[in-house]
Structure 1
Amino acid sequence: MKQKPKLLDQVREKIRVRHYSIRTEESYVRWIRRFILFHGKRHPKEMGTAEVEAFLSDLAVRGKVAASTQNQAFCALLFLYKNVLNMDILGEINALRAKRPLRRPTVLSFDEAIGLIDAMSGVFQLVAKILYGCGLRGIEAVRLRVNDLDFGLNQIMVRDGKGQKDRVTMFPDNVKAGIREHLKYVKRLHENDLKNGFGAVYLPGALARKYKNADKHWGWQYVFPSKTLSVDPRSGIKRRHHLHLASLNSAIKKAAGIAGINKNISSHSFRHSFATHLLEDGYDIRTVQELLGHKDVSTTMIYTHVLNKGPKAVQSPLDRRPMD
């Protein structure tokens, strides 16, 4: 008789069926394991609303976690009970909620943004230009595929962004030459991988099954690939992944020190600056909302309030003046 998979393996299977990212998978599994350990390794089937409330309240009171962190833990448990255990017990959770701090995003001035980019070099400088010039999240930038870049239509396609949504943003003129040159290196790297029996890249959803050998096609390769091959933790296949987000953030912090910028900066600071500078330039808030991929305009309104001037063709803030 075939043995039933362990609970966390069932969680992983359900997540993969829904094509969630590996970051979401790792996060959900971590929170579910932590929930089980918190309650003395009791099986979640033996627990319910009261135990979930106790866990979430402990995170807020004793753990002092951020509201977003507590919400992530709740989403993981909601997924467990709804999609794995088929138990509808989390309708009304009355846990103490972590206080959501009213913090303004870290925004760079135009000169600071350009100074920070100038303090960087190589591939990290190219990614930084994409972040500030297009308003992408860090993970969206490092996940870009060659197919996502449209030099002719001056646009970049952001696929499977937050909330599993696609969107289109501008492709700044001041980064195109650098990207073209960089892609020559990436293509040589890919061709060398193919010669050595590699060259396949991870494909989302059912694309790998639907299109045979598409994972080796040039168009599906990452624009910013890792320097080394690594083993995919899901499939066990050795292949080249994209640039790691942690490496990007480390390079940005190092550049901030070189540029003498004394702000708490990460890859997301470029996205905040992109939105703020477009609004300062008079672009319509709805247009900026669409470029950022925000579900609700209230999220975009955190940057500033401007008079609506109607949709218009948007010039990237990266293109305010010529750059090398």
Structure 2
Amino acid sequence: MTQAITPLRQRMIDDMRMRKLAPKTQSAYLLHVRRLAAFLGRPPDTATSEDLRLFQLHLVEQGFTSSALNVTITGLKFFFEVTVHHPELMARMHPVPVPRKLPQVLSRDEAARLIASACSPKYRAALSVAYGAGLRASEVVGLKVTDVDSGRMVLRVEQGKGHKDRYAMLSPALLDCLRAWWRTARAEGKILHGGWLFPGQNPVDPLGVRQLNRAIHAAADLARIDKHVSMHILRHSFATHLLEQKVDIRVIQTLLGHKRLDTTALYAQVATDLLREVISPLDTLQPA
């Protein structure tokens, strides 16, 4: 039997829908509030600032990461500020610093081996897009055939992260790869006219991100790459390799769709080719 939605929960859902929050964000916010209610043992709108302080301490003791704590605080902030109009209750919940780790990056040889080890032409083309254009996994599976603009040599990315459209680069090698995949898929009836560039089992639906992740893990095993490989490592590698090729960092920022330049600047710390070009002051010392 389906449990009835409480008026408070429905109000929060309506508040999120009014602001057009993404479905995943809505689900996450509801989970955070439900978790608070379970901790309290009573409705979440009866919480005090001390209750919220104790709840954060409880999450820390449960082993929540810094990122998970901050996401929880964001969800509760929405609930108390927007839905129940008591922003002052959040005064004793404090976001925590998130350790900033350097992204893992593939060498050019590893990137080539990884793509070549994909189990099918579709996955080889999809991985080529992620590395060759720096797209996120969700952006790769969201491409349609009409998003490939060979005249202007760009890929149109619709509603990427932050609900923004942008253009990504389309190199001649990537265009050749996509054309080869399109010809094969069209001949086999896997791509509909104007449909998804990387369809799922049913051509009406796009390939799933989870399927793409499974494919890259299998390719990494076959290529014997020891690093922790995910779809995002191809995006990291794209940015790092461009930086090593002396591409202006502001151009890379635009290609990646980063809002802040300091996010892109992180790749300067992993661009080892640039580090090798720097002459150490030790090497300039004259013998005593």
1:118 corresponds to = 116
Structure 2 Cα separation of the partners of residues 47 and 181 of structure 1:
59
For 1:97-116, list aligned pairs within 5 A.
97=96, 100-116=98-114
Question: Any idea what SS the aligned residue of 1:295 has?
Answer: coil
1:174, distance to aligned residue in structure 2 (A): 1.9
1:246 matched to 2:210: yes
Bigger radius of gyration: 2
Structure 2 Cα separation of the partners of residues 128 and 145 of structure 1:
16
Decide which structure has greater helix share: 2
Give structure 1 stretches of 5+ with no counterpart. Answer: 192-217, 230-239, 307-324
1:132 matched to 2:131: yes
Question: Which whole-Å deviations, capped at 9, do the CAs of 1:243-299 have from their partners, x for residues lacking one?
Answer: 221221111111111111100110000011011001000011111111112221111
Question: Any idea what SS the aligned residue of 1:31 has?
Answer: helix
- Equivalent of 1:262, from 206, 220, 226? 226
Structure 1 Cα separation of the partners of residues 93 and 172 of structure 2:
51
Question: Which whole-Å deviations, capped at 9, do the CAs of 1:188-233 have from their partners, x for residues lacking one?
Answer: 4576xxxxxxxxxxxxxxxxxxxxxxxxxx64x432232149xxxx
Question: Which whole-Å deviations, capped at 9, do the CAs of 1:26-85 have from their partners, x for residues lacking one?
Answer: 222222222221221x222212433333333332x2132232222221222222223333
Give structure 2 stretches of 5+ with no counterpart. Answer: 272-288
For 1:152-301, list aligned pairs within 5 A.
152-183=151-182, 185=185, 188-189=189-190, 219=194, 221-228=195-202, 240-301=204-265
Q: TM-score, normalised by structure 2?
A: 0.80
Structure 2 Cα separation of the partners of residues 285 and 96 of structure 1:
30
Structure 2 Cα separation of the partners of residues 241 and 56 of structure 1:
41
Q: Is the 8 A contact 1:56 1:73 kept in 2?
A: no
Question: Which whole-Å deviations, capped at 9, do the CAs of 1:98-129 have from their partners, x for residues lacking one?
Answer: x5234211100011011100000232221111
Q: Is the 8 A contact 1:186 1:225 kept in 2?
A: no
The change in CA–CA distance for 1:11 and 1:180 in structure 2 (over 3 A counts) is farther
1:4, distance to aligned residue in structure 2 (A): 8.2
1:182, distance to aligned residue in structure 2 (A): 4.1
The change in CA–CA distance for 1:109 and 1:145 in structure 2 (over 3 A counts) is same
Structure 1 Cα separation of the partners of residues 137 and 171 of structure 2:
17
Q: Is the 8 A contact 1:225 1:242 kept in 2?
A: yes
Identity of aligned residues (%): 33
